[in-house]
Structure 1
């Protein structure tokens, strides 16, 4: 193992010639602010961490650095098949991708602007007096258009100015700035001391830029030489996982991909596609979810770790997953269809735990295309798990226990009864009761279920971003307090709640319900999905504003809500028993 300094100019020359990223590396994830902060650190002459490289002739899929950074790039577009072959010597970056990609974009390439144009780095060559509000002293910005002095195009230091020394470039910049200032009005000219200070800053800044590029003292490389010494892939993979397991560099799924890709090179691509599929209705599954689903379905437990994919057991698991992917892919598609068509889940706000979907996948993997009776029980399981917090603690233990119930072929359909027995023994609620309906934390889930039942679609499936439904009082709470002297317990009652679009809620004033809903009905709005009671939906003027009228409406509507909720959450129970 060698430990040597290297100039940035040489590093940039080597990028995409013999210096590449191994396929186990995740995508570039730094935001523009992090890129600016790295440049500021280097201009302050702060040290940055050592870069870790691996020289090898092994057959490892090589990925190029991006000449123009795109944060949503398809990584498959950057693979270099010729350099990936066995016998071809190349160097892989094991630790330092974010830093090197940033420097490559600043000094040689560009980033993609919000309007999808090429944006190059420009440095305010006169900066360096004091930090700004972000704590940055040396000002760098990316621009799609050429900028005038004092903004210096950083790529010129490696391009048209590469044969000049720092003093020459600084003198030329100072002369140009003097000419610019002399052409301005007298009152805007720099005072003599300011000119001298500015000239010193320009010389200092250009000297530091040239030093970063040409001197071998700012960047230190640790290189594992797998050509001259024994650094086989298994050992390097272990090193990669360990050096990237600290801080926030990689999440659990990234580390698992690092361990998995040798046995199944396409695994990350298919998992990313699956995650995107599951999130098709504005949900927030991460890449760990489908991996946990696969682990559970293959009987390896829900605990996600890279160690499960290493060694002979790991190779066996990957072979099983690869061979069974068509079956798993169908189960993921069925799960997505179930969420979209049966549950009509369109918002993260109505999900308390994403882990509850793993047993559903496990069941679908072993029991594809369940009949409607099973689907009704699956819907009930979903709502029970969300309402009663079945996955609020010891999540992996719960999932592993349920695998013995759902992770096998079932001739009798979805085993809700056995699942309920399991959670009953854990002391959890297993059936919806009326007292659950006024728990504040359950309000969104319950209202969503009611609207799905009444509308046949999700109230969160909105046409306009930012118009997600808000919880609103049918009888305005301000009037209930001021006119009827009611307290919060009587006002904030599920029987008095409905959903209203965010935009409408902002415009809505405290109007009596008889007037408000009559007006909506008059312009063709279907008020029955809100009011639920046929009698008042047909004639909203019956929404009398007095204590008896309010309580009668609230209680009748609450009973109607109970009827709707119980039918979905407790299909296996007679309503009268609850």
Structure 2
């Protein structure tokens, strides 16, 4: 096993040429806020852990990194059959996919925006002096259009600025910013000291950015050489499982318990039992989650830190938490029941943010045993939060902002309108529109919603481990393309998608729908829950394989999906216009 440093430039140059992902790797799951945090860590010179690679000539299915990050990709589009063959030497990433994909997208690629356009990474090179609401010193964001100075397009470092050094880039940027500032009115112009401070930050930031890309000191690689040594696939698979499951990891709560035990020695046990209760829904809450819930309802804000539990203020907080524990415990039990019976959440894949549940706890703490109308609004809030990325950035600030709406007795029920007003003010969507059904990154969440509505249970609540649902085409994609000549936009649409168990999906042949669903129906499978249209479910022979029938089925089924989703996500609307273009 070798252990060596590498420059980011060398890593980027090998991506999709000699460096690939093995088929056992999960999809890319990081959100943009995690990508920004990684960039901020690198700019601060924080270590980001070793990358683990495996060199082999074995026949292993190889997958490319995404040159443009898609949030819900079809992984089959990225496999490389020629690279996968036995005898072809390749290097696989066993640990570090999320970090490398983020770095590749930031320095040489892009992400796909919600409208499908290409968004590239830009860095504010004047940053480094003030913490943002997210706790970041260095602002990086993805934009579909070129941003003005002081934003710098990071990909230019491997493009048009590849031959330039940090001093040249910093001088050019500072000259431009100096000219802009000198043209300002006297009262708006920064002082000479402020200007010098900014110039220094720009020089430092370009120096660090260039160093990250070109120097062999920021990234370290451990490589299992399966060509020169005997690293069998079974051994490597065992290593992969271990490094990706991890051991016992310290989280923020572990640091806080040391400060808390003196005031309430039973608190760690109470928190651990609460975390275990919440995780009976198969969601991976850690101990920080119930602590943040308690901090919020006791008016201390969602930011979890040991300092809140020290000194006289900490003693007062612990006394309040201890006195109010019976009430909090009841609210945690209600939250768990809401997750299990109302939302039927059984998998991390349909939860984009654990923190989105904190306002629900906040509401239940002050409003126990809500009526069905409030529960419907709470369900709507949950789906809106997941679909619209309400917690994609500034999470603690969002939770604190909502506390004024939900953290009190609400005789009028769950305050959906106040919550919507808050997110409108932050520039987020608040109502499901028909156009959302065509967004690739939302299709899994929407399809899960439909199955929960139709089945009355989570499709992820499976008896056989490893048989969690996959998205599958009702009318086979390949046949629609090759035999009927339809383009991808007509095929890859929610009206033609359904869930199928992973095991069944592997075994399933590319069978035409009339035959396939006819067999399922004969075997007693409730095909109406998949097809959603009574006439096709009653007579599966109607699923004829021709363009007119396919389009009729797809469009009517999409309309039915819209009706189900809009009813659930927009429960506050007294009348939902089912046929409109909303």
Change (3 A) 1:133 1:350: closer
Structure 1: 4+ residue segments shifted above 6 A: none
Cα distance in 2 between the residues matched to 1:520 and 1:575: 34
Alpha-carbon displacement from aligned partner over 1:173-214 (angstroms, at most 9, x marks no partner): xxxxxxxxxxxxxxxxxxxxxxxxxxxxxxxxxxxxxxxxxx
Q: Distance in 2 between matches of 1:487 and 1:374?
A: 43
Q: Distance in 2 between matches of 1:353 and 1:492?
A: 27
1:307 aligned counterpart, secondary structure:
helix
1:250, distance to aligned residue in structure 2 (A)? 3.3
In the other structure, the counterpart of 1:343 is: 343
Equivalent position of 2:469 in the other structure: 469
Q: Are positions 1:316 and 2:316 aligned together?
A: yes
- 1:294 is aligned to 294
Equivalent position SS for 2:465:
coil
Instruction: Name 2:493's counterpart in structure 1.
Output: 493
Contact 2:281 2:336 in 1 (8 A): no
Displacement of 1:519: 1.0
Q: Whole-Å Cα distance in 1 between the matches of residues 251 and 535 of structure 2?
A: 55
Is 2:573 aligned against 1:575?
A: no
Find the counterpart in structure 2 of residue 378 from structure 1: 378
**Structure 2 length as normaliser, TM-score?**
0.57
* 1:435-467 CA distance string (max 9 Å, x none): 101211111111111011111111110011111
Secondary structure in structure 2 of the residue aligned to 1:264: coil
CA distance in 2, matches of 1:445, 1:326: 34
Which whole-Å deviations, capped at 9, do the CAs of 1:360-416 have from their partners, x for residues lacking one? 000000000000010000000000000000000100000000001100001100000
Question: For the residues of structure 1 that align with 2:281 and 2:369, how far apart are their CA atoms?
Answer: 21
Matched residue, 2:258: 258
Q: Is the 8 A contact 2:367 2:410 kept in 1?
A: yes
Matched length: 336
Q: Secondary structure at the match of 2:472?
A: strand
Looking at structure 1, the residues matched to 314 and 487 of structure 2 have their Cα atoms a distance apart, in angstroms, of 61
The verdict on how the C-alpha distance between 1:554 and 1:133 changes in structure 2, with shifts beyond 3 A counting, is closer
1:106-152 alpha-carbon deviations (Å, 9 max, x no partner): xxxxxxxxxxxxxxxxxxxxxxxxxx979xxxxxxxxxxxxxxxxxx
| Shift, 1:560, TM fit | 0.5
Map of 1:60-209 to 2, 5 A cutoff? none
Aligned-partner Cα distance in 1 for 2:498–2:548: 20
Provide the C-alpha distance between the structure 2 equivalents of 1:314 and 1:497, rounded to a whole number of angstroms. 52
Q: 2:415, 2:436 → 1: CA distance? A: 24
In the alignment, the residues of structure 1 paired with residue 252 and residue 353 of structure 2 have an alpha-carbon distance, to the nearest angstrom, of 18
Distance 1:420 1:332 in 2: 24
In the other structure, the counterpart of 2:409 is: 409
> What is the match of residue 454 of structure 2?
454
Q: Tell me what 1:25 maps to.
A: none
Q: Distance in 2 between matches of 1:251 and 1:569?
A: 33
Contact 2:431 2:569 in 1 (8 A): yes
Cα distance in 2 for residues equivalent to 1:542 and 1:251:
55
**Structure 2 residue ranges without an equivalent (≥5):** 1-222, 226-247
* TM-score, scaled relative to structure 1: 0.57
User: Where does residue 548 of structure 1 map in the other structure?
Assistant: 548
Partner SS for 2:499: strand
Q: Larger C-alpha radius of gyration, 1 or 2? A: 1
